[in-house]
Amino acid sequence: MNNDRQYWLDCLLKIAAPVLEALANDELRERMPVESQSDIADRKNYTYLEAFGRTVVGMAPWLGCQTLEGEEEKLRRHYAELVRQCLSVCCDPAKNDNMNFSHGFQPIVDAAFLAEGILRAPHELWEPLDDDVKSRMLNAMRATRTRKPHRNNWLLFSAIIECLLHHAKAADWDPMRIDYAIHKHQDWYLGDGWYGDGPRFNLNYYNSFVIQPMFIDVLREVASEYKEWGALQPDVTKRAAQFAFHLEQLISPEGTYPAVGRSLAYRFGAFQSLAQAALLDFLPAELPPAQVRSALTAVIRRIMSANNMFDENGWLRIGVYGHQPRMGEGYISTGSLYLCSAVFLPLGLDADAPFWKDAPLPWTQKKIWDGEDTVCRHAIF
C-alpha cells in the first residue's frame, strides 16, 4: 500500500475505532467521556449521535470501496460490519445506546451527517440492513421533522435527511424541504465559489464543513427528479471546484492553515470540500491529485503530531493542535470533534488512482515560498 494511504488509513482508524467498537457493543455511553465548555448533562443528549454520524460521514467512501485487496480489504469488511451493527444499535429503543433523534435541535445536524454517510456508501451501509433496522432508521430520520432548522446551512441538513428517505423509496420523502434548501443556497451564493451561511457572509470553514459537500451530495441523490434540480449540477460543481482551489491555497508550507472562524475544533474536517473534490474527480485542472494528497497529508501530519490530541483511552479532546479546551464553543462536545473524519474521503478512491499512485508534489504555498514560478487563478462568478 502507498505510504501516504497507509498513514491516512492508520489515522482514520485511530480516530474512528473507539467510537465504532463501543457503539457496536452498546457501550458508547459507558465508555466515551464528554468534554464541553457548557452544560455536560445537556450535551449528553446529543454528543453520542454526533460522534457516530460524524465518524460515518468521513469513513463511508472507504467502507464502500470495492476494489481493495489483502489486509486493507479485511479491515474494510470488519469496519463495514461494525458500522452496520452500530446502525442497528443506535435506533433500537431496547439498547442503552439508543440515540436521541427527537429532542432538541442538535439531532437535526447529526441525523443529517449520518444520512449523508449512508448515502456515500449505500451498498454497504443501507442495502444489507434488515428491514426492521431500515424501518427504525427511517423513523428516526422522520423524527427530526418536528423542529424547524435554522435559516442557514441547517437547511441542507433537512434536505439530506429527505434524500435518505428518497433513496429508501419512502413514499413520504418531501421534495419541498429539498427544494427550499437548494433555492435558498442559490440565493446565498456570493461569487467565486463561496456561499453565505445564510444571507450574510461569515469568515469560517462552514462552506467546507457543510455547505459545499452537502449541496453536492443532495444533488447527486435527487437531481434526476426535477429538471431544474439537474440543471443546477454543473454550476454547483464548478463552484465547489473553485472553493476547493481556495482551500488548497490556505495550506501553508508547514501544513498549517488559518485558524479563523467558529468550530475550529473540527480540525482537518475544515478540508472536507477539497477532499470531496478529489474523491469525486472535480478538482480544477491547476490541482493535480497528487498535489492535493501532499497538501492534505501535510495538514494531517501536523495536527496528528500534537501529543495531547487524544486522551489516555484514545478519545479525541477539544482543540485544533492538541488539547485546547477554550477553542470549543458551547455547542461543542467530545462527539462534535469527530467531523475531523471528513478529511479522509479520498480513501474511497482505488489504491491505484492517481491521487494515491502519483509521486508527491509541492502544494501551492510551498511552491510560492520556495520561489517557484506559479500561475494565479482568477475568480469565477
Give the CATH number for residue 116: 1.50.10
Asked if the structure places residue 249 within a domain, the reply is yes
* pLDDT for 377: 79
Asked if the structure places residue 376 within a domain, the reply is no
Q: Indicate the residue type of 143.
A: A
* pLDDT for 381: 76
Q: Does pTM top 0.85 for this prediction?
A: yes
* Whole-number Å distance between alpha carbons of 298 and 132: 44
* pLDDT for 29: 98
Domain residues for the domain of 192 are 3-369
> Which residues in the chain come in under a pLDDT of 70?
1
Asked if the structure places residue 378 within a domain, the reply is no
* Whole-number Å distance between alpha carbons of 248 and 298: 11
Asked if the structure places residue 196 within a domain, the reply is yes
Asked if the structure places residue 381 within a domain, the reply is no
Asked if the structure places residue 379 within a domain, the reply is no
* Whole-number Å distance between alpha carbons of 293 and 51: 26
**Can you tell me whether residue 191 is helix, strand or coil?**
strand
* pLDDT for 1: 60
Asked if the structure places residue 128 within a domain, the reply is yes
Tally the domains of the chain: 1
Asked if the structure places residue 323 within a domain, the reply is yes
Contacts of 190 (CB under 8 A, 6+ apart): 196, 201
